[in-house]
Amino acid sequence: TNQTLAQLEIWENKENGKYENKVYMLPKHLDEEVARLHLAKIDVQLETLSKEQADYIGVTVDGPYKPEHYRY
């Protein structure tokens, strides 16, 4: 799943120069999307953070919820 989403990300941004011919880490928002897709397959539903919860941990309500260097 990670590889497919990474390929889609590169393909969708091929014209705007976002990615050069280099090695990149998968953007955190895609990493979290993969986690949600996998959890949905095993019938797990995640709750959305409230504004208060998001502010408390220093993230946006929509995520990403971990820093870029964090790997799931």
- Residue 67 pLDDT more than 70? yes
Q: Domain tally for the chain?
A: 1
Q: Which domain holds residue 28?
A: 2-57
In a domain, 70, yes or no: no
In a domain, 68, yes or no: no
In a domain, 6, yes or no: yes
In a domain, 64, yes or no: no
- Residue 26 pLDDT more than 90? no
Q: How does pLDDT run across 28-51, given as a tens digit for each residue?
A: 888 888 888 889 889 998 888 999
In a domain, 26, yes or no: yes
Name the DSSP letter for residue 59: -
pLDDT bin (cut points 50, 70, 90) of residue 71 is low
In a domain, 71, yes or no: no
Prediction pTM value: 0.60
Task: Identify which has the larger pLDDT, 53 or 36.
Answer: 53
Query: In terms of DSSP H, where are the helices of 1-72?
Result: 2-12, 28-41, 51-57
